[in-house]
Amino acid sequence: MTKGIGQLVGVVIVLAAGITAGTLLSGAQPSTAPSGPGMGMAAAGTPEGPATMPAAVYVQLTPQGAGGRADQTRIPLIGEEAPAFSADTTQGPIKFPEDYKGKWVMLFSHPSDFTPVCTTEIMTCGAMAAEFRALNCELVGLSIDGTASHIAWLRTIAQKVKYKDMANVQVGFPIIADLKMDVAHKYGMLQPTASDTKTVRAVFLIDPNAKIRALLYYPLTNGRNFQEIKRLLIAMQTTDKYGVATPADWQPGEDVIVHPPSTMDGAAERNADSKEYNYVDWFLCFKKMPKEMLTLAPTQK
């Protein structure tokens, strides 16, 4: 048995909400789709369905040699502490989170240097780096390539590559050389069903307290919308500063949502005559949030 465990390659243990223990152990397909908030999950032991496992945990075991250890890959969740790491980059060694105290960080991975989609992405990030910095956000890139490869790629981009209205783009933020995949494993950037040797297009927005606030995963073939990621960053900063929420497709300067009351008395106090907010119903009220009240990049003011 011990020998068998030592030879495990790419084994994935999944405990997903809505999949029963019996289904998981038998290997059978679940009779219903995994459930969660808003998806009609049956409570454990209720007539609506069998007892379910309430959490989702993903663990990847990679090959373990003699005397070695099995590496674990887990995607950090929103609200958790961002995993700490030290790494070599195109701007020298960095330590996270020590080097980024008091700042937001956008940590993002790309599959490989000298590839077309990644080139357009890194150029876009290079061109937008000042806009993110104006929002107190530093960019940190990553791929499973060496520092020499990163440098050669960035020099080629600066000297030869044109994309849309961008040319001669200088990428001044650090790109991690994660040849041993240490950081990629800590952040769940390696997904074997996509590739065993390339990171997917992961994005982590990490706040000044080193907490994961948002994460996005894109497939290898499709580039990210960094304007949308910047919009999300501004929305979260607005929430933190004013205690409001932002509606679908919100853009800076548009109305924001007043958090709904949590008691019957609070609901009764909401009324259409209020001058503080635009009343739609007791649970849906908007208020003005002009751009002048927000922290924005110079191009958005």
Which residues are catalytically annotated? 118
Taking the C-alpha atoms of residue 292 and residue 96, their distance in angstroms, rounded to an integer, is 33
Residue 198 has φ and ψ, to the nearest 5°, of -130, 140
Dihedral (Cα; 49, 53, 54, 59), 10-degree rounding? -150
What secondary structure does DSSP assign to 45-109, as a single string? Answer: T-TTS-------EEEEE----TT----EE-PPPTTSBPPPEEE-BBTB-EEETGGGTTSEEEEEE
User: Which own/partner pairs from 2-11 qualify as long-range (CB within 8 Å, at least 24 positions apart)?
Assistant: 6/64, 7/63, 7/64, 8/61, 8/63, 8/64, 8/70, 9/61, 9/62, 9/63, 10/60, 10/61, 10/62, 10/192, 10/196, 11/60, 11/61
What values do phi and psi take at 174, rounded to 5?
-75, 140
The 10 Å Cβ neighbour count of residue 151 is: 14
Using CA atoms, how far residue 93 sits from 148, 149, 191, in Å, is 14, 16, 26
3-class secondary-structure state, position 217: strand
- Kindly compute the dihedral angle of the four CA atoms of residues 274, 277, 280, 285, in this order, to the nearest 10 degrees: -130
**DSSP code of residue 277:** S
